[in-house]
A and B are shown apart, each in its own frame.
Chain A
């Protein structure tokens, strides 16, 4: 089955991971901007990172016939440095019209601090002024419930925000209900130990339905698994779901959300294959 991984940090993965994902059916992925494993020292560090996300990663993905999309921001961990964050936010528009840039993300909260909240709101302001989609990171572990509520409060406070153009990521049992009630798109992150398992993600879909929801691997510096989405597909098959039901969650839903971005240009895999074939005919 073809699938899309809507949240995977390929910069932290080797080229073989692209190839393994492709062999398991991955045809597209989106890579939000995040922490580099260390705090960057200057706005130029971010400029170089954004070049990597918009130039080299799409090239590396294309070697495995995967279409690469990306999101730009300064992440919540580095948002404690308010002056650097503001320089980065001012620089982001240089990249917003590049091919494959879907919007602003992953922005959110990490430790639920004032500075994080300030920089979050300034990112949202940029997204509203430039008509971008938003991808939200919610905190992990004990900070998640409070942080998700704070993020939703801030989004609802800004009357320009349309929840249908915002994806709230890393939802779990205690945060998915509120995010969905307010009309946001949601994503579950399949991650060993600290986040959701494929079985729990399947349970959440059984309880809340399969509209406006998707799953991702997050694949990052931690002990993550870039082929977690196929594990989720297997879990739903084991439970007896039809291929079309499964495809809605792992392929149709992410593409429907991404298509709201003006920069989204996706070629379905069958058409891509036909085009490649035509080159040889």
Chain B
């Protein structure tokens, strides 16, 4: 069941939504930066996850969502049960 829409149609439908979500992320990061104790957060692992995810957005491919999920996931050890 591949997409029935052309890339142009998808972009038409999602452009304003993408723009709004990017603004929301920008404003949220600004809000963190403006808050008083922001310097304490420099080494917070969650900010590193956010920053790695933003890099992924700029990479090619059609598995960006999956790769961002991996950024926010605990690692799995295949030998966990042995």
User: Which residues of chain A have a CB within 8 Å of any CB of chain B?
Assistant: 112, 117, 141-146, 149-150, 153-154, 157, 172-174, 200, 203, 205-207, 209-210, 238-241, 245
B69 contacts the other chain (CB 8 A): yes
Q: Majority SS of interface residues in chain B?
A: loop
Q: Complex Cα distance A7/B70, Å?
A: 26
User: Which residues 57-74 in B have Cβ within 8 Å of A in the complex?
Assistant: 62-63, 65-66, 69-70, 72-74
Name the interface size band of chain B: 20 to 34
Instruction: Select which of A153, A174, A200 is within 8 A of B81 by beta carbon.
Output: A153
B4 contacts the other chain (CB 8 A): yes
Closest CB of chain B to A140's CB: distance in Å? 11
Closest CB of chain B to A98's CB: distance in Å? 34
Contact B5 A145 (CB under 8 A): no
Closest CB of chain A to B63's CB: distance in Å? 8
Residue of A117, A142, A238, A245 with most partner-chain B CB within 10 A:
A142
Contact B1 A145 (CB under 8 A): no
A-B pair number, CB within 8 angstroms = 55
B75 contacts the other chain (CB 8 A): yes
User: Which residues of chain B have a CB within 8 Å of any CB of chain A?
Assistant: 1-5, 13, 62-63, 65-66, 69-70, 72-76, 78, 80-81
Q: With contacts A141-B72, A157-B81, A205-B1 known, what are 5 further pairs, Cβ within 8 A?
A: A143-B74, A150-B76, A153-B81, A238-B13, A240-B4
Q: Majority SS of interface residues in chain A?
A: helix
Contact B73 A210 (CB under 8 A): no
B74 CB contacts on chain A under 8 angstroms: 112, 142-143, 145-146
Closest CB of chain A to B2's CB: distance in Å? 6
Contact B1 A173 (CB under 8 A): no
B72 CB contacts on chain A under 8 angstroms: 141-142
Contact A173 B66 (CB under 8 A): yes
Instruction: Select which of B1, B73, B78 is within 8 A of A144 by beta carbon.
Output: B73
B75 CB contacts on chain A under 8 angstroms: 146
Contact B2 A206 (CB under 8 A): yes
CB within 8 Å for A174 and B70 given contacts A239-B4, A240-B4:
yes
Q: Complex Cα distance A75/B78, Å?
A: 24
Q: Complex Cα distance A145/B66, Å?
A: 11
